[in-house]
Amino acid sequence: MQSPPFQLARTSAHAHRDGCCQPTEADLRTSRRRARLAELDSHLHCSVIGTCLSTGELRKLVPKFTGLDRHHASDLEIHHAAVELAIAGGAGAKALNKTLDERYAGAIRRFDAARDPQALLDLWNDALRSGDVPPAYWALMSHPHATIEVRQSAFGELHMLSHLVGAANRADIRRLVALESENQELKDKIERQQARLLELSAQRDASVRRMHEQSLHIDRQSDLSTAQREAEIERLREKVEDGERRLALHTSRREAAEQRALYEEEETRALRNKLGEAQALLKVVQAECAALERATLDAHDRPDARRRGIEWVSGRRVVYVGGRPNSNAVLKALVGAAGGELIVHDGGIEDRKGLLAAALPNADVVLFPVDCIDHDSMSMLKRVCERHGVEYSPLRTASVASFVEFVARLSANAQNAHANAPPPSAFCLRHG
């Protein structure tokens, strides 16, 4: 964001004090507490309330502190009133804060294990990948170790997630709503036809009874001629046949409507499955875009330094099999700038496959994009790597983003392993 909705963090004048003079984690735990809703930046209240509290909960809570009618006020009026209560503080903000704490107590306890901003961001990223955003958003915003940068990052990701998901799913949602509406109309039509069939069946039974009575009456009337009785019977028979034809017609229409309703239900289920697959792919693409953006911004801000996020390749040899020439050139420059070596092999299109078998034993890791490599090269690559004990991994695509995201995950795993190592000694040569 060029201009975030809250003030950026300022560098402290004492940021370079001796490490031993900084407050310990125990001091931070005893001196810092979770932030209340009213203490957050006023630009954050709209996102917290809109994401973490439903309209039904706000309709029960907001009218207690405002003059709004919970039955007639619009959703927007309820939302605006809740944001104003949070900004103003007081009893309304306390009630909103209490509701958030009670509803997301589990997420708050899970985030309490974080003791630094990076741990908070790791938990937040896990929540984004699992789709459980509202609990994690409130737990992060109110955490005592949440800095302005951490809150700004979470706010930006939530803001962009709403745009991406809305743009990707808008057409499917419209189609799904239309199908559900049509399905409901068909169900209503079937119910009306069934009622009509019952009515016709009752009318037919009544007609049969009347015809039987009329037949008995005709028989009793001895003064009527035989021709007249036969004519009357024929007329009644035609009337019965006409009723049976109408009943058969309505029955066939009802069966056709039922079949169409079943087909629409199957199509709706297929669209829901496609929507789920699109959302899963969207999460993968978001992770790749985020990793590529971090590497690109770092290359612009620190052209002579090691790249953050891909520092794992520093001093390592990576073999990349397959891919496209343009993307491979960019990857080779990126790895070289990070202090690593990237050996590129096209899988046997122009390069000899013997060179690939010779390069694999000296590699730290072997990567290959599954969308840009032939099956023979991939099978031979796996056999040679397993024979020499070299780690190999497939990439989703031959794009730069897929490569950067994979290396960023390796870097993050290495940093976590380093963070879990025993802490260094707290002894200070200057202060003892």
Quote the Cα angle for 357-358-363, to 5°.
90
Q: Is the pTM of this model over 0.85?
A: no
Q: Give the pLDDT band of residue 423 (cuts 50, 70, 90).
A: low
Residue 2, pLDDT score = 42
Check pLDDT > 80 for residue 175: no
340 contacts: CB under 8 Å, gap ≥ 6: 313, 314, 315, 316, 317, 318
Comparing 218 with 302, which gets the higher pLDDT? 218
CA distance 98 to 249: 63
CA distance 176 to 164: 19
Residue range 39-75, pLDDT digits in tens? 898 888 898 888 898 888 889 888 988 888 888 889 8
DSSP for 251-308? HHHHHHHHHHHHHHHHHHHHHHHHHHHHHHHHHHHHHHHHHHHHHHHHHHH-TTSPPT
First CA to last CA across the chain, in angstroms? 45
CA distance 269 to 273: 6
Residue 354, pLDDT score = 63
Residue 427, pLDDT score = 41
Q: Fill in the amino acid letter for 3.
A: S
Task: Give the position of tokens 């306890």.
Answer: 109
61 contacts: CB under 8 Å, gap ≥ 6: 82, 95, 96, 99
Cβ-contact 355, 383 below 8 angstroms? no
Tokens of 106: 């589990």
Cβ-contact 264, 182 below 8 angstroms? yes
Check pLDDT > 50 for residue 18: no
135 contacts: CB under 8 Å, gap ≥ 6: 52, 103, 104, 106, 107, 127
CA distance 86 to 98: 12
Residue range 219-237, pLDDT digits in tens? 676 666 677 778 888 889 9
